A and B are shown apart, each in its own frame.
Chain A
Amino acid sequence: MAAIPNDVFFATIGELNARLVAKEFSAGELARAFSTRLEQLGPRYNALALGLAQPARKQAAAVDNDIKIGRLRGPLQGIPYGVKDLLSVANHITTWGAKPYATQAFDYNATVVEKLNGTGAVLTGKLSMVELAGGGGYRLASASLFGPGLNPWDVTRWSGGSSSGSAAAVAAGMVTFAIGSETSGSIVTPASFCGVTALRPTYGLVSRHGAMALSWTLDKLGPFAHSAEDCGHILQAIAGKDGKDPGSAGKSFYYTPQYARPMKDLKIGYAPVDFADRAEPSARAAFQAALTALRETGVQLVETKLPQFPYGAALSAILAGEEASIFEALIVSGKVNELADPSQIAGLKAALDLPARDYLKAMRLRRLIQEAYTKLFAEVDALVTTGRSGGAPKADQPLDGGPRSGAAPAAAAAPAAPTDPGFNGIIQAGNLAGLPALVLPCGFADNLPVALQLVGAPFAENTLLAMGTEFQRRTDWHRRRPAGL
């Protein structure tokens, strides 16, 4: 058996596929090496929900046979990947990260898994997540059946959530790419904290069939990978019309970097305060350097203001209304009390009482928000801000900065927020309007990764990916890896 060199675990899809086709190693050897690494390293970061080494070996054997007879299926053929444990894989446990569902299994594959199987990609494992994707509201990193998601860059830090394992697995080279999900921040946050590239697609572009629903109108599935280019290849494979998903946009996606518009013709809206006063002090230098690198791609940065709406209240009302209906049986039966996070339990119980008036008001506001962003994207081609304002928080402290139950309050008051809101609310706004976002690692703050976030118009993923690829041609933050891995 060929020894797999360590750099393979951090190779991009294109690099890895080329080496497979050149027969530097077989798909079977690759699958075995990645499966072993996932099973050894996954528990260190509480990233692994379920290893799938045996089925992966069978998939890899089929890939080797295909390569032998010259049946080449494209860049994802033979590439090891993982999926967030809210995606069903036929006849395997799918826990949704939550104790009440710890033994459930479905007899079908999620559409995304079926599509990736069709490309010859090799599924090596299911990856941990915050219980029920965190919709009830959670305060603790330990809000998961698998324990707190830990960050490969610093195991005392949180990996982010709710796609905790997906981000950590790519960051630590346990999989070449992973599929996660976002309702409100669950791709952007862990990608930012773990220093990996990730894409939240336009709502409806990727089928939700076979994925746990937290919110029918907010949920999206998207890739975590080592580069923007990789995200493009993955999105092409997983996007497309699906009659089994009532929210399907009915559109395909073709990754077409060859048709990218020149960067000098593109305008990106931004708010300088996001990279200065609104950023954590330790992260400001990295963010300023990233803005400089972005300017050097040739794009024009234009100071922009976001449309003003009560994004947080609107998203909370929609999420509460939909999740309470989805999980009504769980809440009413009392099994909700088996969840790990008291805030999550309380939030889900309270959500049953959401007035219809609030849900409908939020959904009407949502239409106005969509119209406002349609106007905004007539002026700029994308928006750029930070993924999060700084590096990952400590995993053993409340994530909202408040005291743990029974603990003394924080000693020092938080500094006053800047009066300029910048792009505050962009994560909620982007999710309310169904907009795509691309997360790009852009440096470090106190040795913890930080990232930029590009947000685009609906179905403008190729534009975001082109900007991201140009940025990554000029920088190498996306190729850095945690020490010792």
Chain B
Amino acid sequence: MKFTRRELATVLAPAAALAQTSTPPNPPSGGDAEVDAARARMKANGDTLAKHAVPMDTEPAFQFRA
């Protein structure tokens, strides 16, 4: 089935609008050297944490109660 450009726009517009409202805009990245440096430090911290083994049955230090 062939769609006209007008019909395609009608179908796609709500999806595009939904994508814009449901996904928060990305913070500025690339070209912002300080943010990149902060991300690199965060990744380095993550790598440090990954090296530290934790027994499988260790739960996080917070607790939800109904």
Which residues on A are within 8 Å of B, measured CB to CB? 137, 217, 309-310, 312-314, 316-317, 320, 328, 331-332, 342-343, 345-347, 349-355, 357-358, 360-368, 370
Contact = CB atoms under 8 A, between A and B. Distances in A.
B42 interface: yes
B38 A347 contact: yes
B60 A317 contact: no
B60 A353 contact: no
A411 to B, nearest CB: 23
Nearest to B55: A368
Which 6 A/B pairs are nearest by Cβ-Cβ distance?
A: A350-B38, A363-B60, A346-B34, A313-B48, A366-B61, A313-B45
B48 A363 contact: no
Contact of B46 (A347, A351, A355): A355
Given A363-B60, A364-B58, A351 B28 contact: no
Contacts of A347: 38
Contacts of B7: none
B6 to A, nearest CB: 34
A345 B36 CA distance: 12
B58 A352 contact: no
Contacts of B27: 331-332, 349, 352
Given A314-B49, A361-B49, A368 B58 contact: yes
B37 interface: yes
A140 B42 CA distance: 20
B52 to A, nearest CB: 6
Contacts of A367: 58-61
30 contacts: A314-B49, A317-B46, A320-B42, A332-B24, A332-B27, A345-B34, A346-B34, A346-B35, A346-B38, A347-B38, A349-B28, A349-B32, A350-B39, A350-B41, A351-B42, A352-B27, A354-B42, A355-B46, A357-B46, A358-B45, A358-B46, A360-B60, A361-B50, A361-B52, A361-B54, A364-B54, A364-B60, A365-B52, A365-B54, A367-B59
Interface residues of B, number: 25
A358 B61 contact: no
A367 B52 CA distance: 13
Contacts of B38: 137, 343, 346-347, 349-351
Task: State the majority secondary structure of interface residues on A.
Answer: helix
Interface in B13-61: 24-25, 27-28, 32, 34-35, 37-39, 41-42, 45-46, 48-52, 54, 58-61
A345 B27 CA distance: 11
B41 to A, nearest CB: 8
Given A346-B34, A350-B39, A358 B25 contact: no
A311 to B, nearest CB: 10
B62 interface: yes
A357 B50 CA distance: 9
Nearest to A310: B48
A136 to B, nearest CB: 8
B34 A365 contact: no
Nearest to B46: A358
Contacts of A314: 49
Nearest to B28: A349
Contacts of A366: 60-61
